[in-house]
Structure 1
């Protein structure tokens, strides 16, 4: 039999078993005698229980609950007189109904019981029978409040840690202070102008205004030149100029919002199992990234795709690992988890899979695209291809890219051969660029069939 006594459990079991009359008050010692125990068991009348009062930071005592349950039949005035005689405080009106329901057995649980503070109210039978003086009511109350404060602090720390973990999950990994200032394709000149204006620096604000005007003229000029060209002549603008222009906005109506490439893919119908007519894939439709089927040091293949594209780690130790397509990775985009499929071959692709391709890692050789001929209209339409999908060339920085790469609209991603801690910088640059591409309108050309 347990040596511990919980005042709430003891009193409730005594009342439910119909033995409330066996509990006697020893007025001069301010104790309650529970005669059902062999030799009797005395508990302090003023010992706090874990029952939270409606009064702030207050708990009902054993004597308060016992006296109220003994006098349910009395009027409020007579109940008040009885409390004066015993020397206890009345149970408040707000507390009476919950106390009555729980201790009479009509309710199996009660929200008023503070499970955090409950251990502080437990007494030991052996200690009580020894005649030793137990802690005073004030000491027990203080322990209960301290225990509650500690638990609340632990909850706050867990909540704060959860918030910090969420922020860290959403933030880009940074390897240096320079990365903090990178925001590809975005200009904060208007924010800077507002800051100068609010701090009364009119001349600085005017200078920024001139820079904003010049920037707007540059964008307008780029848009006009791009719209006037077609086909291979668009390549004359140069990669850097095209990258900074949102191709979708060049042909868009200002009063009509166009869907981005990512939105178009997410709205595609999912492939269904013909037997059950259930989708093969759960969750949103996945965009597809193509990597080379062959591997050379510094490049990427299916084997290294997950470690680099998911974790920002170019792990050469995985060379012996066998991987089959598709490899699935996930990425937080607009506060939502978006999955991607990684493939190294398009030979068995359906029309829907072709339309889901958003990026290609190239090895610099034209034979990589031998299976793309039908989708390119039977010609080498690499200018249109790399406007429709984003092209990347991953390589070691001390290796010169193939000559063919310079003719294509490809983003170079140079890795440091012996500095793996800098992989995350390239990883951030890649995803910043790809996310910007996904938020643009899909490039459409009559010569491309996907």
Structure 2
């Protein structure tokens, strides 16, 4: 019985608890004993043969989440079964399928025709021709046995070599870098890029100022000097129009206070200023639980390089009537109760006067955005892992916000 067949037999019988490791061997009850590092006939899609140790650990832990299984296998220094092999391997070991293309059996034992026949050595036979024939048969058999033995010895050498090979890294472990904070590297890189852009803008400043002074008032920006806007700063803060009146002070952006949303009072500054998404739970630990009442963010990057300050708050109930006139945007949670006691009669009025944004992971289910798709809000998607794409999402927010403010100023 080979290790793979024995493991399949015990799995189907429900006797996995009888497979016990003793030093460097696995004992299958009182039936079989195999070395833990013995190669089985099951070949992974990556080309290597799985060892008995790998398959025993997998079949006893196949019910847990694959990422947890990979982590536990690394902790026990046991090579893991790859994700692509899990389903077909489990089906074979549990008996759902009778065979698999991944199984590569070792060369079979010597067939009966290679085994010496006792009748060929009859002591009562004195016939020379018979002896000659028997000798010819023996020579042929010895020749075949020699070839088979050479092949077997060669396979044994390969097995010995493979048995002592140990993988140092897999495709997940190789990505691990201890004591490295790549977030700080990304922020530093972003700041260097902003400094480069600032220097370039400064170099163009003198020419733009001279040009703006020569232009008529009708050629200037909406409420801003053309030179001021193009140079990268505002002569006065942008205002939110409501009912034809301009709200006083810095514009306000509202975020949910609930943690189940992606953007909160804790991580909004890194996202809107630096273009980097940091999970809320990570920011809470960094800030040691200190909850800010208000956060000031600046639009430091966009296609027109304008720098504008905004207040970010997460307690709408604390806003005064005059504060509501300064609210320009809101990150929605996707729940009706978020807008309870807000000074708007319905969603139509709310999202006509305030632009709404809904942040989601790009691979989230469609159901997660089912409610907000019924509202007049902008859905912005980010990746769970590709942080270099966050900057484009933040830029999309600023572009949408400025477009909305300009449209309101014309209405």
TM-score w.r.t. structure 1 length?
A: 0.36
TM-score w.r.t. structure 2 length?
A: 0.39
Task: Answer 1 or 2: higher relative contact order, Cα 8 Å, separation at least 6.
Answer: 1
